[in-house]
Copies of this chain bind each other. A is one copy, B any other.
């Protein structure tokens, strides 16, 4: 079985079957990382370029670990060390990369749509979007789906509340689409300035009051306040934000007993999430990271041609 599409660009281009295939493959990949010898020869002789324009710990390392555990050759490329600083266009840079015959190019870029543009101009390599501007972050949504499914044994019918800066969040956008495809109900909550107009059309119900949003939720997904992205003030102070939208023990108590707390990281402790909420038994934040490696192994495997 194969993916319906050569590239992983966003959640809209993945079918429900694609998502099912990725999650299933990831579940079987996961145990590789639990072995004493964490290595399979599956992608030996494949070249994976990790082309990251924005700083990243988790995502870049996660792909690097995934590639190496599959025995692929992983080639890192940061914008600062690249020809970009010499004024080359992104298309020229990537056509040059293509000429070196990589099998897969993983791209993180500050411009929404950059991976889609590359997918159009490149002939051979598969493109994996590792985050493009405020647009999409499909591998994050997939690892989130995997983690929810692993813990709840289903996705269908769950109520998932995503709280925070929905406006600037590619994680939120990709999760809303993915969760809808898999049959979950999605609620979004945050300050009015952070809720994009028309988000309901993507399949999210807007609930401005965070207490309301948390009530009865099976999963609460907190978003990072991305200080580095926000010019101008979208909320008065961090303390005010924490009180109105942060996940405190009190607010978390409004959800069911078996609620799960998620966060794409890195977390701002005491801002969008309290240490109690981040570190308690309901928190599956680090499971997300572990599953991130498994999901990326699965994706590298599937876009490289599968079995």
Decide if A268 is an interface residue (CB 8 Å cutoff): yes
Decide if A61 is an interface residue (CB 8 Å cutoff): yes
Bound Cα distance from A302 to B88, whole angstroms? 33
Chain B residue contacts of A65, Cβ below 8 A: 47, 73, 75, 100-102
**Oligomer: number of copies:** 3
Bound Cα distance from A93 to B62, whole angstroms? 13
Q: How large is the interface on A (under 10, 10 to 19, 20 to 34, 35 or more residues)?
A: 35 or more
Contact of A45 among B37, B80, B98 (CB under 8 A): B37
A58 and B267 contacting across the interface, CB-CB below 8 Å: no
List the B residue with the shortest CB-CB distance to A95: B286
Residues A38 and B33 in contact in the complex (CB < 8 Å), given A61-B75, A68-B73, A265-B88: no
Decide if A153 is an interface residue (CB 8 Å cutoff): no
B81 and A75 contacting across the interface, CB-CB below 8 Å: no
Decide if A230 is an interface residue (CB 8 Å cutoff): no
List the B residue with the shortest CB-CB distance to A101: B33
Q: Which 5 pairs from chain A and chain B are nearest by CB?
A: A37-B45, A88-B266, A99-B289, A39-B45, A57-B83
Decide if A87 is an interface residue (CB 8 Å cutoff): yes
How many Å from the CB of A278 to the closest CB on chain B? 8
A92 and B45 contacting across the interface, CB-CB below 8 Å: no
How many Å from the CB of A84 to the closest CB on chain B? 8
How many Å from the CB of A206 to the closest CB on chain B? 27
Decide if A82 is an interface residue (CB 8 Å cutoff): yes
Chain B residue contacts of A237, Cβ below 8 A: none
List the B residue with the shortest CB-CB distance to A268: B87
Bound Cα distance from A97 to B292, whole angstroms? 11
List the B residue with the shortest CB-CB distance to A288: B99
B83 and A73 contacting across the interface, CB-CB below 8 Å: no
Contact of A286 among B44, B96, B228 (CB under 8 A): B96
Chain B residue contacts of A37, Cβ below 8 A: 44-46
A47 and B68 contacting across the interface, CB-CB below 8 Å: yes
Decide if A159 is an interface residue (CB 8 Å cutoff): no
Residues A45 and B35 in contact in the complex (CB < 8 Å), given A81-B60, A101-B293, A266-B92: yes
